[in-house]
Amino acid sequence: MEVQLLSGEALRRQMHNRIQELRGNIRVFVRTRPFLPNDGASTASAIDVLPDGEALSILDTRSPTPYEFKFDKVFPPSSGQDTVFQEVADFVQSALDGYHVCLFSYGQTGSGKTHTMQGSGNGAMRGIIPRAVEQILQQAQVMQSQKWNFTVSASFLEIYNEDLKDLLVSMKGGKETSTNPPKLSIKRSREGKSFVDGLSEVMIDTREPATGMHQLEALMGVAARSRSVASTKMNSQSSRSHSVFMLNLHGYNEETGAEVSGALNLCDLAGSERLDRSGASSDAKRLRETQAINKSLSCLGDVFNALATGASHVPYRNSKLTYLLQDCLSGDGKALMFVNLSPTTASSNESLCSLRFAQRVNQVELGKPTKHIQYNR
Ligand SMILES: Nc1ncnc2c1ncn2[C@@H]1O[C@H](COP(=O)(O)OP(=O)(O)OP(=O)(O)O)[C@@H](O)[C@H]1O
**10 CA to centre of ligand 1 in angstroms:** 39
Confidence check: pLDDT of 196 > 80: yes
CB 360 within 8 A of CB 301: yes
List C-alpha distances in Å: 88 to 20, 292, 293. Answer: 11, 29, 26
Mean pLDDT taken over the chain: 84
Q: How far apart are CA 110 and CA 340, in angstroms?
A: 9
**31 CA to centre of ligand 1 in angstroms:** 11
CB 286 within 8 A of CB 271: no
Q: How far apart are CA 106 and CA 117, in angstroms?
A: 11
Q: What's the farthest any 2 CA atoms get from each other in the chain?
A: 70
Confidence check: pLDDT of 35 > 90: yes
Q: How far apart are CA 77 and CA 279, in angstroms?
A: 27
**What's the confidence (pLDDT) of residue 20?**
56
Top mutation candidate among 33, 87, 243, 344 for ligand 1, by most atoms within 8 Å of CB: 33
Q: Is 33 in the pocket of ligand 1 (CB under 6 A)?
A: yes
ipTM computed for the complex: 0.98
Confidence check: pLDDT of 183 > 80: no
Q: Is 110 in the pocket of ligand 1 (CB under 6 A)?
A: yes
Average pLDDT over residues 98-117: 92
CATH (domain of 34): 3.40.850.10
CB 308 within 8 A of CB 302: no
Confidence check: pLDDT of 177 > 60: no
Confidence check: pLDDT of 359 > 80: yes
**27 CA to centre of ligand 1 in angstroms:** 22
Q: Is 112 in the pocket of ligand 1 (CB under 6 A)?
A: yes
Residue nearest to atom 8 of ligand 1 (CA): 112
**What's the confidence (pLDDT) of residue 231?**
43
- Looking at residue 35, its amino acid is F
- Provide the whole-model pTM: 0.86
Q: Provide the domain count of the chain.
A: 1
Each residue's pLDDT tens digit, 65-100 = 899 999 999 999 999 999 999 999 988 998 988 888
Q: In which domain, by residue range, is 219 found?
A: 2-375
- Looking at residue 363, its amino acid is Q
Average pLDDT over residues 275-279: 55
The larger pLDDT score, comparing residue 193 to residue 278, is at 193
Each residue's pLDDT tens digit, 286-308 = 777 778 887 888 888 888 888 77
**33 CA to centre of ligand 1 in angstroms:** 8
